[in-house]
Structures are given as C-alpha cells and as structure tokens.
Amino acid sequence: MARVVPAKAKKREGFQSSSSSAMAGSSGAKPEKKKYQRRECSHPYCETPSRKGGLCHKHGVKRICSAEGCWRQVQRGGVCIFHGAVVSRKECEMEGCTTAANQYGFCHKHGGYTRCRESGCEKRALKGGWCLAHGGVSYTKPCLMEGCATLAHAFGYCHKHGGYYRCKQDGCEKAAQKGGLCKAHFKSQEEE
C-alpha cells in the first residue's frame, strides 16, 4: 500500500514517492498535471460550469442595469441600451434601412450573412457552409414530441407543443413577448 502524505507536507518537504521519482527519472518526462475542473452551476438541473458566485453566465454572472427596476444586461457605463448606453454599430448600407449591420455592411434582411457554398444558391449557410437544402446541419434539434418533425424552439419542444417562454403574470399561459410578459399584460403595465 502506498504511503499517504498530506498535500501541505508534500510542498513543505519536496516529497516525491519512490515510484513517481523512478518514473520521472527513467523517461525524462514531467509527471502529468491534474486539470482544473470548474464546479457546475448551482441552479437546479444546470450542468454548465460555474463562474462567479457558483452560477453560470446564463443564471447570474451578468451585470444588471443600475436603473431602478430594470432587469436588462449592462452594455456600457453601468446601464443597458434602454437607459442610455450608447453602443456604436454601423447601420445597414441599404438605402432607407436603419437596422444594425451584421456582415458585409448589410443587415440580415439585405444579405448580411454567409451564403451557401452551392453555386447559384443565395440561401444562408448553416454549420458546414451549406444551406439546409444542400446538406447543411441546423443547430436546433427536432421537437421531442413523438411524430413531430418541426424544429425545437425552447425546452426541446416546438412552439405548438409548449416550447415557448410563458408570461410572468400568475395564471397566464400566453407566450412572453416584452419584458417577460405577454402583449396584454405588458400593455396593462405600461398604462399604469
């Protein structure tokens, strides 16, 4: 049985076991280092590696806007875009379009995306450089409902089978639109 020595004692005494020193001396290679592994996010059912405060980026590392009652993510100067953060982004080069440009100086609507490798095809390329019609792989998987071939939207299901975020208002099952609320509850909140 190998001798067990505490980690502090190993550092203090420059301890090496006889087997590891023999192996290191004979081959001339350095002993393997243990890889550091982050703990998982402490949010229920989340297996993403945690960052600050035991949570992953999705569940809490984001900086929230300093404006009272705002839940949006900080962009610049401690505030979100809605409360005055100026994020400079070029506008689409198409005349009359004010949408932010993505690629090639155009917005997605006017061709600011990578095209399919197939000659003559103007569709958007997916993973692998091909469009869906020419063998490109979509990032989204099909709906988990048996017999449904529609691509999943959220929680592994398509919109028809419940794959959408619900309104935050108690008892409301409608899809969330703005601020985590459905259109009706968002309008009623604005009026108040």
Residue-wise pLDDT for 127-170, tens only, equals 778 888 888 777 678 889 999 888 888 888 998 999 999 998 89
Among the listed residues 154, 181, 184, 155, the one whose alpha carbon sits nearest the alpha carbon of residue 168: 181
Mean pLDDT score of the chain: 78
Query: What pLDDT does residue 58 have?
Result: 75
Among the listed residues 107, 75, 109, the one whose alpha carbon sits nearest the alpha carbon of residue 92: 107
pLDDT at residue 2 tops 60: no
Whether 27 contacts 19, CB under 8 Å: no
pTM, rounded to two decimals: 0.33
The greatest distance separating any two alpha carbons of the chain, rounded to the nearest whole angstrom, comes to: 79
pLDDT at residue 19 tops 60: no
CA–CA distance, 143 with 147 (Å, rounded to integer): 9
Residue-wise pLDDT for 55-64, tens only, equals 777 776 567 7
CA–CA distance, 7 with 14 (Å, rounded to integer): 10
Among the listed residues 169, 152, 168, the one whose alpha carbon sits nearest the alpha carbon of residue 160: 152
Query: What pLDDT does residue 82 have?
Result: 76
Query: What pLDDT does residue 161 have?
Result: 92
Residue-wise pLDDT for 88-120, tens only, equals 778 888 898 888 888 788 888 888 888 898 999
Q: Where are the domains of the chain?
A: 38-84, 89-139, 141-186
Give me the phi and psi of 184, to 5 degrees please. Answer: -65, -45
Give me the phi and psi of 138, to 5 degrees please. Answer: -85, 145
